[in-house]
Amino acid sequence: MARPDNLLFRSHIEIARIMQVLAQEKCKVTAEIKNGHPFASFMISADLAADRFAISYSPHKTINTMVLSSPEVEFTATDRQDLNFTFTGTAPEEIQISGEPAIQFAMPKSLLIHNRREHPRIPVPAELSLRCVADEGGFIPFESHITDISHDGLGCLIYDMDINLDDGALLHGCRIMVPGGDAIVADMELRHVTTVQQPDGTLAHRAGFRFVEKPADLAKAIGLFIQDLDKSPKAP
């Protein structure tokens, strides 16, 4: 099946995997810096644990300095099939990889795949999430939010600090609220429980999860994080 012309990813899990492939292929990346200065480089790493990706230095020292001083840069990477991957890098830092200078950035919050030179700018909600009543079919139902779901049924769950759960905990009958009045009910297994700071400064638990069995209507939730943007009919 052919890939749509425009596909927007908002799932952190899917974006990280795509960025890993771009780095493995050493894909070329381009951008326009201040006052339209062109920048060209290559993807060289995508560190999922650190939530960062890195690009090589360009041959132009002044342009590299501009990139390092920019709060954010919109990059477009091109893979071996000539597909374009547009994403934003923020929080640039100078590092060394295998003894060579490089620039690393925070992993992007959204990523657009397209095969056109021109592409739409899509506003992406900063805190997209789905309400979830976790363990509704168990002993300790509690409110939570899902911030990621990938095609293979992996995701991330955010919940209050007063809920203490360990890696491997099973949550039964979790009810995921999908816009439109629908709900998905499934069992989850938690992985990698950590503490994170939310945008308002408060702390919360963040846990990776997998569905024990993928629900049949999982695509409803995935569709909120991965969206086909090519809805207009093609010109003849």
The values of phi and psi at residue 4, to 5°, are -60, 155
Answer yes or no: is pLDDT of 132 > 90: yes
Closest of 54, 51, 150, 68 to residue 107, by C-alpha:
51
Residue 234, pLDDT score:
47
Residue-range definition of the domain harbouring residue 212: 130-226
Output the six-digit token pair for 208.
Answer: 């990776």
Sign of the dihedral defined by the CA atoms of residues 8, 213, 160, 137, in that order: positive
174 sits in which H/E element: strand 170-178
Residue 236 is predicted with a pLDDT of 41
Q: Do 164 and 97 fall within a single domain?
A: no
Q: What is the mean pLDDT of the chain?
A: 86
Predicted confidence (pLDDT) at residue 217 exceeds the cutoff of 90: no
At residue 197, does pLDDT exceed 60? yes
- Check pLDDT > 60 for residue 122: no
Say what the alpha-carbon torsion angle 95, 99, 100, 104 is, to the nearest 10 degrees.
-20
Per residue in 44-91, pLDDT (tens digit) is: 999 988 999 999 999 888 999 999 999 999 999 998 888 899 999 999
Who has greater pLDDT, 198 or 190? 190
For the chain, the domain total comes to 2
Q: What does each C-alpha distance from 77 to 27, 93, 123, 230 come to in angstroms?
A: 6, 19, 20, 20
Low-confidence winner among 26-35, 109-118, 159-168, 194-203 (lowest mean pLDDT): 109-118
Q: Are 135 and 110 within one domain? A: no
Residue 235 has pLDDT above 50, yes or no: no
One domain for residues 89 and 164? no
CA 152 to chain centre: 15
Q: Are residues 23 and 109 in the same domain?
A: yes
Domain assignment of residue 54, yes or no: yes
The predicted pLDDT at position 5 comes to: 65
* pLDDT given for residue 230 in this prediction: 65
Instruction: Tell me, yes or no, whether 165 lies in a domain.
Output: yes
pLDDT score for 185: 92
Residue 122 lies in a domain: no
Q: What is the pLDDT of residue 86?
A: 94
Cβ neighbors of 213 (< 8 A, separation 6 or more) are: 186, 187
Residue 193 is part of a domain; what is its CATH number?
A: 2.40.10.220
Q: What is the pTM of this model?
A: 0.79
Residues 149 and 214 in one domain: yes
Q: Which of 85, 114, 143 is the last residue of a domain?
A: 114
Residue 1 resides in a domain = no
Are residue 110 and residue 136 in the same domain, yes or no? no
pLDDT of residue 94 exceeding 60, the answer is yes
| Assigned domain for 234 exists | no
